[in-house]
Every structure is written in structure tokens, then in C-alpha cells.
Amino acid sequence: MAAKDRFHDAVKQALLKEQWVITADPLILKIDRVKFEIDLAGEKVFAAEKAGQKIAVEIKSFLNPSAVTDFHSALGQFLNYRLGLQMNEPDRTLYLAIPLDIFESFFQERFTQEAVRQYQVKLIVYEPVQEVIIEWKE
């Protein structure tokens, strides 16, 4: 099993506060001999809809000295996990969870914004100390 991200529990608690039901911790995907472990899977049922919304969340802390290095790793994982979900669970939407301080700094850089736009990365911006979600970015 892969090591949990430093802020794994903070993001999990933030999702629970927003009435998400955690259905997997981690969500394991297998495609032939390739195995992925996405940090969390959740579902939220809306009263006005017949089917619930399903998500998968890859949590990142961005604690290394180089945010660029962390971003390369996070983006690569995100793209691979999204492909795996498209192959095995196409009704589940993948999000990359990032801390608020990184969103307000590194994710405001033109290159980062263009990469997020180009690769259609859906973001959850979280505050790890208060264990709350600040923003969902589609």
C-alpha cells in the first residue's frame, strides 16, 4: 500500500463535513497488471437526482522545496489516474486536492494555470488546519 499524503486525513474530514460518503480509502484500480491507488473515493446523493455523484480524490501537500517537482509528479499521477478511471469507472470524476497556500501562490503562475486548463485538471482547494474545502474548481 502506498504511503498516505500528509494531509490525507484533513481532506477526508473536509469531505465528510460537506456530506460526502467515503466509499474507498484508498480506491484501488486494476487494469490488467497495472494497479493504481487513488487516495479517496466518495459519493454524494442529491435529493433531486436519481443517481449520486461519484468522485475520486488524489491528495497532494506540495511540501518539497520545489513546487515544480511536486507539480510534475501530481500532474502525471492525475493524468494516469483519470485514464484508469475512464477505463474502469467512467462515472467517477477525478479531482486533485491541493492546499490553499499552494493554490494562492504556485497555482497562480501563468504556466501552472495553463497546464491546469490544458489538461482539464479539476481541483479541490483545501485548508489543512481547519480541515475544510475552500473551493471546487472545475
Per-residue pLDDT reduced to its tens digit, 9-21 = 999 999 999 989 9
What the block records as the C-alpha cell of 91 is: 462515472
Containing 68, the helix (H) or strand (E) segment is helix 67-88
- Quick one: average pLDDT of 40-69? 82
pLDDT at 51 over 80: no
Per-residue pLDDT reduced to its tens digit, 92-138 = 999 999 999 999 999 999 999 999 999 999 999 999 999 999 999 99
- Quick one: average pLDDT of 36-65? 82
Residue 50 — pLDDT band, cuts 50, 70, 90?
Answer: very low
Residue 41: strand, helix, or coil: strand
Residue 43: strand, helix, or coil: strand
Whole-angstrom Cα distance, residue 124 to residue 48? Answer: 24
- Quick one: average pLDDT of 54-63? 94
* Nearest alpha carbon to residue 115 among 80, 85, 71, 83: 71
Q: Hey, what domains does the chain have and what are their CATH numbers? A: 8-137 (3.40.1350.10)
Whole-angstrom Cα distance, residue 28 to residue 26? Answer: 6
CB 55 within 8 A of CB 93: yes
Whole-angstrom Cα distance, residue 92 to residue 9? Answer: 21
127, 41, 96, 35: CA torsion to nearest 10: 140
The C-alpha R_g of the chain, in whole angstroms, comes to 15
Can you give the pLDDT at residue 45? 67
